[in-house]
Amino acid sequence: MAGSLQERQTLTIDVACSDSNGIVYDEALTLAYEGASYERASSLADIAGNYTLLFQPNTNSLNIAADGTLFGMYHNGANCTINGTASIIDANYTLIDVSWTMSGCTDLRGIYEGVEMSGFAIANPAPIGNPDSYYFLLTGLTQDGLYAVSVLYEPA
């Protein structure tokens, strides 16, 4: 990866991944800064609660306790139970550190069992939708390589 950062403006990254057969991924990504979303204060009290995904809400749930402990079911292909933590990085900003481990997985290949995912959550960055929702972006390594979770959890 290589890129540039213009503080409070843009983050540009060029990502090239390869294996012994050559380049398998070569993309450029530009992220724009959204001050109204990012500069909101954060606290564990704000994120504590019960959440679900809009699709299959009965099997995609997340509970975050007041101390940051999280537990849920992630049945978006992986069909796993998740256990982990959420913690405040800087209370002046909405970015929240998140890590969870997938277990009890029932997916056919079983590649997510024991996978540790890490990344962040941010209060709903979109100008529309429920402002009490949280967007999660986590990554982890499975036996098949890098896996990403990118979801918007809505209050249950």
Confidence of residue 15 (pLDDT cuts 50, 70, 90): confident
User: What is the reported pLDDT for 1?
Assistant: 83
Place of tokens 């995912």: 117
Same domain, 88 and 117: yes
Please tell me the total count of domains within the chain.
2
Same domain, 61 and 134: yes
Residue 152 φ then ψ, to 5°: -110, 115
Same domain, 14 and 44: no
Q: Which two three-digit tokens encode residue 156?
A: 């249950």
Confidence of residue 125 (pLDDT cuts 50, 70, 90): confident
Same domain, 5 and 50: no
Same domain, 44 and 104: yes
Same domain, 15 and 80: no
- For the beta sheet containing 2-6, the strands, ordered from the edge strand earlier in sequence to the opposite edge, are 2-6, 10-19, 22-32
Same domain, 123 and 60: yes
**Is residue 134 over pLDDT 80?**
yes
Same domain, 27 and 51: no
| pLDDT single digits (tens) 23-70 | 677 888 898 887 766 778 899 999 999 999 988 888 899 999 999 999
**Is residue 101 over pLDDT 70?**
yes
DSSP category for residue 144: T
CA distances from 14 to 3, 4, 120 (A): 6, 9, 21
Which is more confidently placed, 73 or 8? 73
The rounded mean pLDDT for the chain is: 89
In sequence order, what are the beta bridge partners of 49? 64
Same domain, 55 and 28: no
Same domain, 93 and 133: yes
Same domain, 26 and 61: no
Confidence of residue 21 (pLDDT cuts 50, 70, 90): confident
Same domain, 14 and 89: no
Give the domain range for residue 53.
40-155
